[in-house]
């Protein structure tokens, strides 16, 4: 048995050379040490007989996402940053590349096309033909606003042969408020947005929805990305007049799961900080810093000291939870912030104190029980008076707390103190030295603001690349770097490094404007290509479409699917913002909680017809329709969702009560808009669901289905069926079509 001596680490752990030879009392302290935020991959060294599962030719379970052509090397020996570390592509400064020469493309005006064609032509390939006008406008609608175009919008675009028709569509969509709703959701995946804490009580996070609205607003305003980042990291520390949005933005720090009854509240505090570290580094920098919590990073040049230097920027945030011993739930720290200037808040507090003090003085003086009761009631009333300003889920800063390196991540084994500092490997790579955030606590720049300024430097090698890659990913189905949250050695290298640098430099040069980047990408010939695969030569040469000889077809995400069902049925409620909507769910779904229905009260029907981004995100209770279609995980930063195809999805779309409700409304809409003539209704159904007319065969198939349904429904009830009984199943079938779910 490896556990020869109770209370000590198994001997096998010491085979790993990066683990210092130590012996820890496992009973109390070692237990906490293993609360490493990431399950670190120690297997190669521990089990040298096994293949390194991250190597290019690996054969082990779960390896497909590991890089194919850049085998990360396990770092050995004492930590030191080498020239090879600094030479890693993602740590190099972004240099705007010269346009490559490409042959025979006189119509090409967009540099994106030049970068792609250069690589295609080297393989003897070229772009696919353009997508049809209908495919193209559908693609743009789904990409930019996440909703299908109306049949009329498609017809108008198909008929518009002017040179600027396409550009007008792009401008129109970028100007719609639904653009922000669509793109905010991508962001919410990254910051693991949820409105409850998870764990035993899964209690609501106060005012979390304001953060969701803030993100939507920011995208719609085309807020410069550097400002957007800075607000989330340090909105409360930004100079300038009071800005409610900058406060709301710091809700970013409060979105993590939170255990209100932890085994050890100090360890839990560092778990929360680690969660923030992981989200910050993955979201803004595309790095997996969390690996360095207990030891130096195994693959990337990130030392444990780097981890704690970075953590020091966040160390003085007032913790989410109060210290705690014993059983039962605990209270939260100062996790909200008033949405008013300090002077206004202070004035309000003074006014309330002014009312309370005399009452309390009277209370202290009285001996009369009746008076006492009266006074207590009065005090209660004053205390309950709502402030004349709102609050947001946000950070509040404590006085500076020192940060120490925690030996093996164990909160009970603090080591050397560290000052806030940026990742060493990047400090030199971004040519000029980092600002003086390394300086001590008397630094005139607040800590998180210093971090925000560093991350949003125009010459930061990661920030613009990471975001440009995300934008590209959501327009082409995959990023130029296929691992959007990992630009390090365990991630993938870009298929088009020059194009990525071009986009990153354009993003910065435009003043960090995302709408500019969208338009640049959508105007490219590449974006407008067909996604069809009927090109045998290209398929042979590049089946995976690494070179982008065609567009990638994409499956609508869960939100787009649900929004589309509502839109096609004619029931979509486009009201924006505000507290979240609670959809009606089957009671079986509620019963999976330890207290069925806890914290859930169904919203009025009209509210339930709102866009999916406004549905409440309760960690213990994700609506099955969304869950089944690969909704975000809500606990970790998600850079790209999976897209699985499984039978329960079919069951969901065939039988679920929400889908049936929409199918019924869709049927009523057909009757309303197309009259009683069957063929007219079928045409309208195709127009609304698919934005095209049915073919002859499709019309025949639809009519046959309706005839059978009529016969079955008549037999069923023994009398002529209602139109709804006949048309609802037909409409449900239309809502199930691949053509509706997959974007060409």
Partner 1 sequence: MSLDPSAQTPKVAHGSTPDVLPGTRRQFLWQAGAGFTGLALTALLDGDGFFSRPAVAAALSAANPLAARPPHRLTKARSCIFLFMFGGPSQLDLFDYKPALQKRDGQTVDNEFRRNTKTKAVLQASRRQFTQHGQSGLWCSDALPHLARQIDKLAFVKSLYSDSFAHGSAVLQMNSGRIIQGHPAIGAWMSYGLGALNQNLPSFVVMLDPRGGPTTGAPNWSSGYMPAVYQGTVLRTAGDPILNLQPPAGSSREMQRNEIDLINKLNQAHAAQRPGFSELQARIASYELAFQLQATAPEALDLSQETPATHELYGLNDKKGDHPLTVGPAPFGRQCLIARRLVERGVRFVQIYSGGGAAGGQNTWDGHHGIEENLQIHAPEIDKPIAALLSDLEQRGLLDETLVVWGGEFGRQPVSETFNTGGKTGGRDHNPKGFTYWLAGGGVKPGVSYGETDELGAEAVVNRRHLRDLHATILHLMGLDHHQLTYFYGGLQNRLTGVLDAEVIRGVLA
| 725 is a contact residue toward partner 1 (CB under 8 A) | yes
Pick one of 137, 173, 277, 278: the residue that binds partner 1 (CB under 8 A).
278
Helices (H), 493-547: 497-509, 514-522, 536-541
| 79 is a contact residue toward partner 1 (CB under 8 A) | no
Residues 6+ apart with CB under 8 A from 62: 53
The span from the CA of 400 to the CA of 448, in Å, is 12
Contact region for partner 1 (CB under 8 A) — 383-391, 394-402, 461-469, 732-740? Answer: 732-740
| 70 is a contact residue toward partner 1 (CB under 8 A) | no
Tokens 């609304």 correspond to 688
- Rounded to a whole number, what is the largest CA-CA distance in the chain? 98
Considering only residues 257 to 276 of the shown chain, the ones binding partner 1 according to CB under 8 A are: 257, 259-264, 271
Give the Cα-Cα-Cα angle 272, 634, 608 (nearest 5 degrees): 135
From 185, 3, 213, select the one nearest 612 (Cα to Cα). 185
State the angle between helix axes of 558-569 and 723-735 in degrees (0 to 180), rounded to the nearest 10. Answer: 150
Contact region for partner 1 (CB under 8 A) — 238-246, 416-424, 460-468, 692-700? Answer: 692-700
| 553 is a contact residue toward partner 1 (CB under 8 A) | yes
Residues 6+ apart with CB under 8 A from 550: 127, 128, 529, 530, 531, 532, 533, 535, 538
Pick one of 18, 54, 128, 316: the residue that binds partner 1 (CB under 8 A).
54
Pick one of 86, 201, 334, 360: the residue that binds partner 1 (CB under 8 A).
201
Contact region for partner 1 (CB under 8 A) — 93-101, 512-520, 599-607, 620-628? Answer: 620-628
Neighbours of 684 (CB within 10 A): 19
Q: Fill in the per-residue mask, 472 to 511: x = in contact with partner 1 (CB under 8 A), - = not in contact.
A: -----xxx--xx-xx-x-xx--------------------
| 48 is a contact residue toward partner 1 (CB under 8 A) | no
DSSP secondary structure string for all residues of 664-730: HHHHHHHHHHH-S-HHHHHHHHHHHHHSSPPPHHHHHHHHHHHHHHHHHHHHHHTSPPPHHHHHHHH
| 200 is a contact residue toward partner 1 (CB under 8 A) | yes
Pick one of 190, 216, 500, 732: the residue that binds partner 1 (CB under 8 A).
732
The span from the CA of 56 to the CA of 594, in Å, is 45
Q: What three-state secondary structure class fits 135?
A: helix
* Nearer residue to partner 1 within complex by CB, 236 or 300: 300
From 465, 423, 473, 503, select the one nearest 90 (Cα to Cα). 465
| 630 is a contact residue toward partner 1 (CB under 8 A) | yes
Pick one of 328, 331, 399, 604: the residue that binds partner 1 (CB under 8 A).
328
Considering only residues 521 to 550 of the shown chain, the ones binding partner 1 according to CB under 8 A are: 532-534, 539, 543-544
Q: Report strand pairing: 554-555 vs 742-743.
A: antiparallel
State the angle between helix axes of 723-735 and 647-655 in degrees (0 to 180), rounded to the nearest 10. Answer: 150
Q: How far apart are the first and last CA of the chain?
A: 58
Pick one of 526, 613, 620, 685: the residue that binds partner 1 (CB under 8 A).
620
| 552 is a contact residue toward partner 1 (CB under 8 A) | yes
Contact region for partner 1 (CB under 8 A) — 52-60, 83-91, 150-158, 357-365? Answer: 52-60
Residues contacting partner 1: total by CB under 8 A: 146
| 45 is a contact residue toward partner 1 (CB under 8 A) | no
* Nearer residue to partner 1 within complex by CB, 275 or 506: 275
The span from the CA of 428 to the CA of 91, in Å, is 9
Q: Min. distance of Cβ 354 from partner 1 in angstroms?
A: 40
Q: Min. distance of Cβ 246 from partner 1 in angstroms?
A: 29
Q: Min. distance of Cβ 135 from partner 1 in angstroms?
A: 11
Q: Min. distance of Cβ 66 from partner 1 in angstroms?
A: 6
Q: Fill in the per-residue mask, 643 to 682: x = in contact with partner 1 (CB under 8 A), - = not in contact.
A: xxxxxxxxxx-xxxx--x----------------------
Q: Fill in the per-residue mask, 585 to 614: x = in contact with partner 1 (CB under 8 A), - = not in contact.
A: -x-xx-xxxxxx------------------
* Nearer residue to partner 1 within complex by CB, 145 or 652: 652
| 688 is a contact residue toward partner 1 (CB under 8 A) | no
Considering only residues 292 to 321 of the shown chain, the ones binding partner 1 according to CB under 8 A are: 294, 299-300
| 353 is a contact residue toward partner 1 (CB under 8 A) | no
DSSP secondary structure string for all residues of 28-56: IIIHHHT--SS----HHHHTTTS--TTST
Considering only residues 555 to 574 of the shown chain, the ones binding partner 1 according to CB under 8 A are: 555
Q: Min. distance of Cβ 558 from partner 1 in angstroms?
A: 10
* Nearer residue to partner 1 within complex by CB, 31 or 439: 31
From 690, 693, 668, select the one nearest 680 (Cα to Cα). 693
From 704, 711, 696, 694, select the one nearest 730 (Cα to Cα). 704
């Amino acid at each position: 048995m490896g556990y020869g001596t109770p209370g000590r680490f198994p001997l096998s752990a010491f085979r790993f050379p990066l683990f210092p030879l130590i012996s820890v009392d496992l009973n109390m302290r070692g237990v906490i040490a293993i609360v490493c935020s990431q399950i670190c991959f120690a297997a190669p060294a521990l089990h040298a007989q096994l293949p390194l599962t991250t190597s290019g030719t690996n054969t082990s379970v779960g390896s497909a996402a590991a890089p194919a052509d850049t085998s990360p090397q396990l770092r050995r020996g004492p930590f030191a940053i080498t020239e090879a570390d600094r030479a890693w592509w993602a740590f190099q400064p972004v240099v705007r590349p010269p346009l490559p020469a490409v042959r025979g493309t006189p119509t090409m005006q967009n540099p994106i096309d030049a970068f792609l064609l250069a690589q295609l032509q080297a393989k003897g390939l070229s772009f696919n033909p353009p997508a049809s006008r209908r495919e193209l406008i559908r693609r743009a609608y789904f990409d930019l606003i996440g909703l299908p175009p109306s049949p009329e919008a498609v017809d108008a675009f198909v008929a518009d042969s002017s040179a600027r028709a396409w550009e007008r569509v792009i401008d129109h969509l970028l100007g719609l408020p639904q653009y922000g709703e669509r793109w905010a959701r991508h962001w919410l995946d990254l910051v693991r947005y949820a409105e409850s804490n998870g764990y035993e009580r899964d209690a609501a996070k106060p005012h979390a929805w304001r953060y969701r609205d803030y993100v939507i607003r920011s995208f719609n305003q085309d807020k410069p990305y550097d400002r957007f980042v800075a607000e989330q990291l340090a909105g409360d520390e930004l100079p300038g007049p009071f800005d409610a949005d900058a406060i709301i933005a710091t809700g970013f720090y409060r979105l993590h799961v939170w255990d209100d009854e932890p085994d050890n509240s100090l360890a839990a505090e560092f778990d929360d900080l680690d969660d923030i570290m992981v989200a910050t580094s993955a979201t803004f920098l595309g790095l997996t810093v969390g690996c360095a919590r207990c030891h130096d990073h195994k693959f990337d040049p990130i030392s444990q000291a780097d981890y704690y230097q970075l953590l020091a920027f966040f160390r003085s945030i007032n913790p989410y939870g109060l210290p705690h011993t014993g059983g039962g739930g605990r209270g939260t720290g100062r996790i909200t912030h008033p949405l008013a200037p300090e002077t206004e808040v202070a004035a309000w507090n003074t006014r309330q104190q002014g009312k309370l003090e005399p009452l309390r003085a009277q209370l202290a003086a009285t001996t009369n029980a009746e008076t006492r009761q009266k006074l207590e009631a009065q005090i209660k009333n004053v205390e309950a008076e709502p402030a004349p300003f709102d609050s947001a889920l946000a950070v509040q800063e404590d006085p500076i707390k020192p940060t120490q390196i925690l030996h093996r991540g164990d909160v009970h084994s603090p080591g050397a103190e560290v000052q806030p500092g940026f990742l060493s490997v990047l400090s030199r790579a971004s040519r000029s030295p980092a600002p003086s955030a390394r300086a001590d606590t008397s630094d005139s720049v607040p800590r998180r603001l210093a971090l925000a300024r560093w991350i949003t430097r125009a010459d930061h090698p990661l920030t613009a690349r990471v975001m440009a890659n995300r934008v590209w990913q959501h327009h082409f189905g995959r990023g130029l770097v296929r691992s959007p949250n990992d630009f390090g050695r365990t991630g993938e290298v870009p298929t088009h490094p020059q194009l990525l640098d071009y986009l990153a430099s354009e993003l910065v040069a435009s003043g960090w404007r995302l709408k500019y980047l969208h338009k640049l990408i959508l105007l490219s010939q590449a974006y407008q290509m067909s996604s069809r695969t009927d090109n045998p030569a290209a398929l042979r040469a590049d089946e995976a479409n690494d070179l982008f000889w065609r567009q990638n077809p994409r499956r609508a995400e869960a939100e787009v699917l649900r929004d589309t069902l509502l839109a096609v049925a004619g029931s979509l409620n486009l009201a924006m913002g505000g507290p979240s909507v609670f959809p009606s769910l089957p009671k079986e779904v509620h019963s999976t909680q330890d207290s069925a229905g806890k914290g859930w009260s169904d919203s009025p029907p009209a509210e339930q017809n709102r866009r999916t981004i406004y549905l409440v995100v309760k960690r213990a209770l994700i609506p099955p329709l969304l869950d089944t279609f690969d909704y975000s995980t809500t606990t970790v930063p998600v850079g790209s969702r999976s897209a699985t195809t499984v039978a329960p999805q079919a069951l969901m779309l065939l039988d679920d009560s929400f889908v049936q409700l929409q199918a019924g409304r869709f049927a009523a809409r057909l009757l309303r808009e197309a009259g009683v003539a069957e063929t007219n209704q079928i045409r309208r159904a195709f127009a609304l669901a698919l934005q095209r007319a049915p073919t002859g065969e499709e019309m025949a198939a639809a009519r046959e289905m309706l005839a059978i349904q009529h016969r079955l429904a008549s037999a069923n009830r023994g009398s002529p069926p209602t139109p709804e009984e006949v048309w609802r199943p037909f409409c449900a079938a239309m809502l199930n079509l691949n053509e509706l779910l997959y974007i060409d």
